[in-house]
Amino acid sequence: MQPKEPIDLFLPVRWIVTGLLIVVVATTLAQILMRYAFNAPLIWSEEFVRLLIVWITFIGASAVCYDGRHLNVEVFLKAAPPRLRQVMRLTNAVISLGFLAVLGWHSITLVKIEMMQDMSALPLKIGHIRLAATIGCGLMIVAILARIFYRRPGLRRIDPVHVEDDAM
């Protein structure tokens, strides 16, 4: 009997990021086509693509955190004894959670301030760009907590960065 595949809790996030990236590529190609083939550039496309790239970065970072590929120096982690590995992982998680909590909390203030300013080409507020940091920080916090508390069987097989410990 084959081992059961682990459930990827952040699969919906990965699909959202993939969809947004497809929209970025399609919008950029449409801009190139409109500008050079029809001499009628899309005025809103540059601002729209910039907005989506910021969202892709912060939302995608949560999936990276869930995979444990963020904020690690693998050489030290793999060389450490199992007990020290556990301490290093938990210390890394606590520091990351603290940083993300402070960043997310302060980004709320920036979002409120920048919701008073309009974007130049899109019918959105500048705060919609900053909102990506707030939501991204929240998702990264959830991802780190899920990484700590949700044990995925067979993780070593699918995640080459993961080092399994008997101590955890």
Domain boundaries along the sequence of the chain: 11-158
Report the 10 Å Cβ neighbour count for 116.
9
CB 168 within 8 A of CB 81: no
Q: Which residue has the higher pLDDT, 168 or 131?
A: 131
- Longest Cα–Cα distance in the chain: 64
Q: What is the mean pLDDT of residues 6-26?
A: 92
Q: Is the pTM of this model over 0.85?
A: no
| pLDDT tops 50 at residue 165 | no
Query: Taking the CB of residue 41, how many other CB atoms lie within 10 A of it?
Result: 13
Give whichever of 21-25, 61-65, 145-149, 154-158 has the largest mean pLDDT: 21-25
Burial of 134 (0-12, 13-18, 19+ CB in 10 A): buried
- Give the pLDDT of residue 93: 87
Q: Is 20 within 8 Å of 98 (Cβ atoms)?
A: no
Is the distance from CB of 37 to CB of 130 less than 8 angstroms? no
pLDDT > 70: percent of the chain: 83
What is the pLDDT confidence band of residue 50, given thresholds at 50, 70 and 90? very high
Q: Which two tokens stand for residue 35?
A: 């500008």
- pLDDT for 168 equals 41
Q: What is the pLDDT of residue 6?
A: 64
